[in-house]
Structure 1
Amino acid sequence: MTDRLLFLGTGDSMGVPRVYCTCGICEEARNAGTNRRYRSSVLLETAEGKLAVDCGPDWRQQMERLGQREMERLLITHAHFDHIGGLPEWADACRWLSKKGHVYAPHEVVETIRSQFPWLHRQLIFHALDPEGFEFAGWTIHPWKVCHGKNGFSYAYRFDKTGYSWVYCPDSIRLSEEEKKPLHGLNLLVLGTNFYLEEAEPLSRSVYDMTEALGLIGEVRPEHVIFTHMSHGVDINKSYPLPRHVQLARTGLSYPLNLADKDRIVK
């Protein structure tokens, strides 16, 4: 079995459509549904098991869409609600299934989650990661802290396995040279971009837009790039001026994590 990355959600912190909004993209999301976006999350699928990354408030809908009744392992990028809001529902599922879930995150993220949801330890086992990371299904997974603009910090994760390297970085902006170092030498970069071009005051922002991301990509030169964490400012049906090796994520996109199958993408 080829290891694959499945996109469970591709939306920003509020998802698409916005309840209050009647813009063309939100209306299309309500009707045709092409632009409907759950909060960002991915699932690493391997022959040895699955590892989800982030568990936002759309977790239940994402699981129903998969037809999946349980989840065993979760990696968390940071303790913002759009990335951890589904934890109580997962813990409740574990309770009814008489199982324990395993949560992996850096120590400070674990401590924040425990303070916000002090009862979760009854059903979820927390594993605080050290800078060396951990191993899963042959992948060596390294966390590192990245700038999240006005929202403080997040963590990105680099996954390395013989002959293949990829990074998941949904929430970042204005990365320093030190923060960019793990982005070099990648076969795949999954990067959060809220808009194609965001016009808000720079210091009020927390995630790259696509024009800024293209500058970053030009520096670190990944082989392939998938943009995720997109707001209702992004129309998935529109053709944006992006290089051939850059694509927009869609819910259900399944991407093979090896060189032999890289051109056989299931959308």
Structure 2
Amino acid sequence: MRITLLGTGDAIGTPKIGCTCPACTDARKGGKSQRLRFSILVESSEGRILIDTSPDLRQQFLRQKISCTDGTCVDGVIWTHGHYDHYSGFGEFYRVQHKVDVYGIPETLDYINQFVYFLKPRYHYVKLYEPFELIGLEFTLFQVNHPPVDIPTGVVIREGDTKVVVTGDTNKDIPKVSLDLMKDPDLLIADAIVPPRIHIKKHMNSEEAMELARELNAKEVVLTHLSHFFRPHDIESMFLPLGYDGQVFEFQG
């Protein structure tokens, strides 16, 4: 299993339009502070799955040199929730791949369908906490807490004894049934939108994300959905496991 962080930025990305803070300045110079919006590519020997479809999806596919065979670039898309920075790039499949298989809970898919129905995706409704198989991997959606979204989700990915957990967008108030499912991951990909000195009701800050990693007994943690409020990446990453665009994790199943 191979996991690529296609985009590690928050809803506005870094650099933020019109901002000259240190992180945005570093991003404009081409540093790792440059962050496209959130998407994750999951690959196995049998295919590719996207978790969320960033507004920057076209740029991400071109940057990673993702090829398409017989009109197929990915074997499916999993949507975690209906915020625009997590689904609006789906339109980048227009005239590239038709009838994309998309997966998510009914509330998420029905909401997103209002905006992407013209692309005619093939909808697959998924139940919370019930595993389903794609590209030879097992996926499970679990509920997190990301107000005002009614039922935002995270994703557990399994291959053999390997377990990867994606928190999705969430604050620290994750239901216990979800925390039990998330326990003991080999890799925790955790929402951490801001540094410790800042608190946002909808997301975890980096301190809360690291606390969650300890509580879950995560072997490795990488922070994502990062804002420009962090110091430039090369400085901040000396103290925190910040993700960066194009970062790859590989596991033997």
How high is the TM-score relative to the length of structure 2? 0.89
Q: 2:249 aligns to what?
A: 255
Residue identity in the other structure for 2:82: A
| Aligned counterparts of 2:107 and 2:249: Cα–Cα separation in 1 | 31
| Aligned counterparts of 2:148 and 2:101: Cα–Cα separation in 1 | 30
Q: CA deviation at 1:127?
A: 1.2
Q: Pick closer, same or farther for the CA change 1:136–1:151 going to 2, 3 Å.
A: closer
| Aligned counterparts of 2:237 and 2:77: Cα–Cα separation in 1 | 33
| Aligned counterparts of 1:26 and 1:216: Cα–Cα separation in 2 | 28
Contact 1:91 1:101 in 2 (8 A): no
Contact 2:236 2:242 in 1 (8 A): no
Q: 1:190 aligns to what?
A: 189
Q: 1:43 aligns to what?
A: 41
Answering whether residue 90 of structure 2 is matched by residue 93 of structure 1, we say no
Task: For 1:1-267, list aligned pairs within 5 A.
Answer: 3-70=1-68, 71-72=73-74, 73-94=76-97, 99-121=98-120, 124-131=121-128, 132-173=130-171, 174-200=173-199, 205-234=201-230, 235-239=232-236, 242=239, 247-258=241-252
How high is the TM-score relative to the length of structure 1? 0.85
Q: Pick closer, same or farther for the CA change 1:170–1:238 going to 2, 3 Å.
A: farther
Q: CA deviation at 1:150?
A: 4.6
| Aligned counterparts of 1:11 and 1:227: Cα–Cα separation in 2 | 10
| Aligned counterparts of 1:150 and 1:183: Cα–Cα separation in 2 | 23
Unaligned runs of 5+ in 2: none
RMSD of the TM alignment (CA)?
1.9
| Aligned counterparts of 1:138 and 1:165: Cα–Cα separation in 2 | 14
Unaligned runs of 5+ in 1: 260-267
Q: 1:264 aligns to what?
A: none
Residue identity in the other structure for 2:247: L
Q: CA deviation at 1:78?
A: 0.8
Q: Secondary structure at the match of 1:42?
A: strand
Contact 1:10 1:229 in 2 (8 A): yes
| Aligned counterparts of 1:223 and 1:217: Cα–Cα separation in 2 | 8
Q: CA deviation at 1:258?
A: 3.1
Q: Secondary structure at the match of 1:39?
A: coil
Contact 1:12 1:40 in 2 (8 A): yes
Q: Secondary structure at the match of 2:36?
A: coil
Q: Secondary structure at the match of 2:249?
A: strand
Contact 2:44 2:136 in 1 (8 A): no
| Aligned counterparts of 2:135 and 2:221: Cα–Cα separation in 1 | 23
- Which protein has greater RCO, CA pairs closer than 8 Å, 6+ apart? 2
Write out per-residue CA displacement over residues 110-130 of structure 1, whole angstroms, 9 at most, x where no aligned residue: 100112333232xx2121112
Percent identity between matched residues is: 26
Q: CA deviation at 1:69?
A: 5.0
